[in-house]
Structure 1
């Protein structure tokens, strides 16, 4: 049986999985086979894009000439989906957001079919003896469900595919950090903590995810805190070359990081570097009320310069007793901060089992922090983080 026969065309409605046992089998087969190919992630991604552009050559023009970063983003997305494949309450909203976000590329159903064929062909090639007809059916079912969720969300979205926004200020804080303010031509309906895909004129077709560092304002302006990461084509071009009058494109808001003021639980925030942005936006939003859940914010970095906004947040905490700010540095012998990694320091305080936990930063920081917290006893369903956090 060929991949084409399994996933093309995508059916008009989600395929029925007959029983919980069938769902469990599908999840197990997808995870087990993905674990086999994941050590060859770079080769899988290269083969996937080669196959995709062969099946549907028109898709190539949607992507930048340099595909290196795009390949790593594909694998991060795949890993995230595989991790959530048996958690539909988390996975379906994530896929719906992706579907709405992909409208900016002009994606249509035939593109999803091509992606499905290329994906299954790529996993099959590197799964070796682990690939069977049963595994192929599991991947086809899983992909069809994912694609249908994305297509349905895109079709139902009545908002624009993207917004235009003009750069109205650009402040450099050190050589590798910039704060850029943009004014959208029309208000962007994001919630504090969500992120947006952004395309800048210096790097056309290189869309990157950036997180507003402020709650929505009456004038609609949005601040982005951007660090120029090593190898970051977009982040470095923004920090060094963004100028007043530049017009950016911004896709629909995405992400799950948020604070529920009504559920009665206090909040732990763990932020590394410019991963502070979603936490800052949420705190900005909460500051309009006198009473809130208690928020314990750990801000981490390697050196003092990474704590670029800690004084501002401590000023906010000084007049808002619901907020506690704890700066953390890996650099030794710095007064006034906790010493160690964020994972070290946060778990030193305990398991935080009664808190809602929000984590944001580099993929490595998120992995280490979440892993250590789970070992310490933090319930998994209390932890929220978003997968797209780097250039």
Structure 2
């Protein structure tokens, strides 16, 4: 295994080999571009089929040849049977070599202090050599180290399964490409990994076979990862995520926390399409809450109008430990580069992307002022108001104003959210962000323009 490709696995980027026996035309006779269709004399006749390769037991025996025919080989002669190839196309010796390689990796990982300690040293070394690398990846240092440790454990336990290993490295490459990582930023990872292993061992514990095993394994993985990076430009990237939290906030609404297995980049305010196992091919968009720079979690707020569909499955049928698939993040609902103050107006669960923007303001210490109006029908629909109030208090200058359109308003404003916005202040100098049902977006946008807000300063994603 060391120093060469895994058996049965073509080098990424190489052309597919011809089937066994493929080659030029029989006899190696080239075809001339000046060939004509005129008959040619003097060609001996061919009587009967011509053997295409060594004979096999059970083929018919031709006792005699027609007059003038080419002599056929006698199929009655003894034939040595070919040994049967393994079902998976792999040589048993190669299979044993991979098991030995996995043993070397596992033993050295344990001797170096375990996957978590090695991952911590590896991340520190890579961050020093390539400072921009981890800035492109979601999650903080702790979350990134955790994913590296999981990757090392996974590699050791799947090294003897080349098809699984190649496919997983390709998916990792696609995810890294989505994060903006370039292949050359990973070239030092093999040497850094070997050094992270050596540094955790006792004096004299690092052996040449350990070093060769890790460097060789990384070289193969790197090629497959680079292949996945290139493939990401031609096919959509999809992340598998496990449900780590599920909480019903209302009878028709649940908050879910998902953890993608691979780094998933997104900006606060964006949304992504989700697929559940029971409904393959059906993708439903949901806003993403949270700050990707903090951890590897994705938060979804899902409201279901019925028990059917993707939303119904997520609210009523999904539990912790289940898996879903997430497509790449979409949408332009991000904080503007300008220093203008912000006006945010949400309707019902439209508060989710605006909550994400508030969280971004709090985590970065942004000095801009932000006012969030959250319009709902009744008090029971303010399912997330405490969390949003806490986030606003963590901001430098943020205010949250719930507006109740029906029934008792309690301590909050009552009436239409557009009336509350008009009564609160003057907004012509603000950047405005809207999120909610399509009708709410249209009505609120028109009302804001009547208040003097320029259309180019009103931002919202297109209704899906």
Q: Pick the TM interval, shorter chain.
A: 0.5 to 0.7
- Out of 369, 377, 380, the position equivalent to 1:302 is 377
> Deviations along 1:111-165, whole A, 9 cap, x unmatched?
xxxxxxxxxxxxxxxxxxxxxxxxxxxxxxxxxxxxxxxxxxx998378521111
Quote how far apart the aligned CAs of 1:319 are: 4.0
Matches within 5 A, 1:231-380: 233-260=309-336, 262-350=337-425, 352-380=427-455
Residue 168 of structure 1 is matched in structure 2 by 244
- Which structure is higher in helix share? 1
> Deviations along 1:67-94, whole A, 9 cap, x unmatched?
xxxxxxxxxxxxxxxxxxxxxxxxxxxx
Residue 129 of structure 1 is matched in structure 2 by none
Bigger relative contact order (CA 8 A; separation at least 6): 1
Give distance in 1, aligned partners of 2:309 and 2:418.
29
User: Is the 1:199–1:207 Cα contact (8 Å) retained in structure 2?
Assistant: yes
Residue 225 of structure 1 is matched in structure 2 by 301
Give distance in 2, aligned partners of 1:223 and 1:167.
10
Give distance in 2, aligned partners of 1:171 and 1:301.
20
Quote how far apart the aligned CAs of 1:217 are: 4.6
Residue 210 of structure 1 is matched in structure 2 by 286
Residue 199 of structure 1 is matched in structure 2 by 275
Quote how far apart the aligned CAs of 1:384 are: 0.5
Paired residues, what number?
236
SS of equivalent residue, structure 1 residue 191: coil
User: Is the 1:299–1:310 Cα contact (8 Å) retained in structure 2?
Assistant: no
1:292–1:232 distance in 2 versus 1, CA, 3 Å: farther
Q: Which runs of 5+ in 2 are unaligned?
A: 1-173, 175-229
SS of equivalent residue, structure 2 residue 245: strand
Matches within 5 A, 1:176-187: 176-187=252-263
User: Is the 1:328–1:338 Cα contact (8 Å) retained in structure 2?
Assistant: yes
Residue 384 of structure 1 is matched in structure 2 by 459
User: Is the 1:209–1:388 Cα contact (8 Å) retained in structure 2?
Assistant: no
User: Is the 1:228–1:235 Cα contact (8 Å) retained in structure 2?
Assistant: yes
TM-score by length of 1: 0.56
User: Is the 1:269–1:357 Cα contact (8 Å) retained in structure 2?
Assistant: yes
> Deviations along 1:342-374, whole A, 9 cap, x unmatched?
222223335511000000011111111112112
Quote how far apart the aligned CAs of 1:232 are: 6.4
SS of equivalent residue, structure 2 residue 301: strand
Quote how far apart the aligned CAs of 1:244 are: 1.9
Give distance in 1, aligned partners of 2:396 and 2:385.
16
Is the radius of gyration larger for structure 1 or structure 2? 2
Quote how far apart the aligned CAs of 1:271 are: 1.0
Give distance in 1, aligned partners of 2:427 and 2:308.
34
1:251–1:354 distance in 2 versus 1, CA, 3 Å: same
1:327–1:162 distance in 2 versus 1, CA, 3 Å: same
Give distance in 2, aligned partners of 1:158 and 1:325.
43
Q: Which runs of 5+ in 1 are unaligned?
A: 1-102, 104-153
1:232–1:294 distance in 2 versus 1, CA, 3 Å: farther
User: Is the 2:379–2:408 Cα contact (8 Å) retained in structure 1?
Assistant: no
User: Is the 1:210–1:224 Cα contact (8 Å) retained in structure 2?
Assistant: yes
Quote how far apart the aligned CAs of 1:317 are: 2.6
Give distance in 2, aligned partners of 1:382 and 1:230.
36
> Deviations along 1:329-353, whole A, 9 cap, x unmatched?
1124322111122222223335511
Matches within 5 A, 1:63-212: 157=233, 161-212=237-288
User: Is the 2:367–2:396 Cα contact (8 Å) retained in structure 1?
Assistant: no
Give distance in 2, aligned partners of 1:169 and 1:156.
30
Residue 18 of structure 1 is matched in structure 2 by none
Give distance in 1, aligned partners of 2:391 and 2:363.
11
User: Is the 1:184–1:220 Cα contact (8 Å) retained in structure 2?
Assistant: yes
Quote how far apart the aligned CAs of 1:184 are: 0.4
User: Is the 2:275–2:281 Cα contact (8 Å) retained in structure 1?
Assistant: yes
Give distance in 2, aligned partners of 1:379 and 1:173.
37
